[in-house]
Amino acid sequence: MRKIFFDTETTNYFSDVGKNDPTALDLAVVCLYDSAADAYKSFTQRELSELWPILEKADLLIGFNSEHFDIPLLNKYYSGDLSKIRGVDLLKEVKKVLGRRIKLDTLAEATLGRKKTGDGTESVRWWRAGEIDKVIKYCIEDVKITKELYEYALENGCLRYRDGRIIREIPLVTNHWERITEGAETKLTHTLPF
């Protein structure tokens, strides 16, 4: 099974565009981990033609808030519909159980014992200052955290978060995440020449 863990960063804020709509933002960079290549990669907006064939070959797209943010943002640039590829959005899975959203940083600290290296607002500032390598490094670190949380959840059936002084578990049903269903749709490619 080819799994792609991914995250995006933008060049602007919701306050710049006057609405809370990811498709109104501009993409700075997409970073991913490709299980087939066992490698982390990054793509700027100019390099998206190299990204699409990788995503089109994925059996599973895995992100954090990806269904609400990253997929709609990427679909703005893609000729097909990335939401048609099977996906696991860890934030959505957590919200199903907790009934509310929780930050990636909160899960990483309680589950993995480490924090993120920055946040999205810093990323935009770095981008605007021309510190592209800093944005890519930050984005790849978020992909690593997402990958580690996903693997932890698969192995342990839960993720953790701090509630005051108490570390609480979020039980997750993960047995369907990687299940291959018989007769599953064949993915269509939209960027490869015919």
pTM of the model: 0.91
Burial class (CB in 10 A: 0-12, 13-18, 19+), 175: exposed
d(CA 93, CA 96): 5
d(CA 61, CA 82): 9
Third-level CATH fold of 3-171: Nucleotidyltransferase; domain 5 (3.30.420)
Both tokens of 77, joined, read: 């640039």
For the chain, the structural domain boundaries read 3-171
d(CA 92, CA 88): 8
Supply the DSSP string of 92-133, one letter for each residue. HHHHHHHSS---HHHHHHHHHS---S--HHHHHHHHHTT-HH
For every one of its 194 residues, what pLDDT tens digit does the chain have, with 9 covering 90 and above? 999 999 999 999 998 988 999 999 999 999 999 999 999 999 999 999 999 999 999 999 999 999 999 999 999 999 999 999 999 999 999 999 999 999 999 999 999 999 988 888 899 999 999 999 999 999 999 999 999 999 999 999 999 999 999 999 999 999 999 987 655 554 555 555 43
3-state helix, strand and coil shares in percent for the chain, rounded to the nearest 5: 45, 20, 35
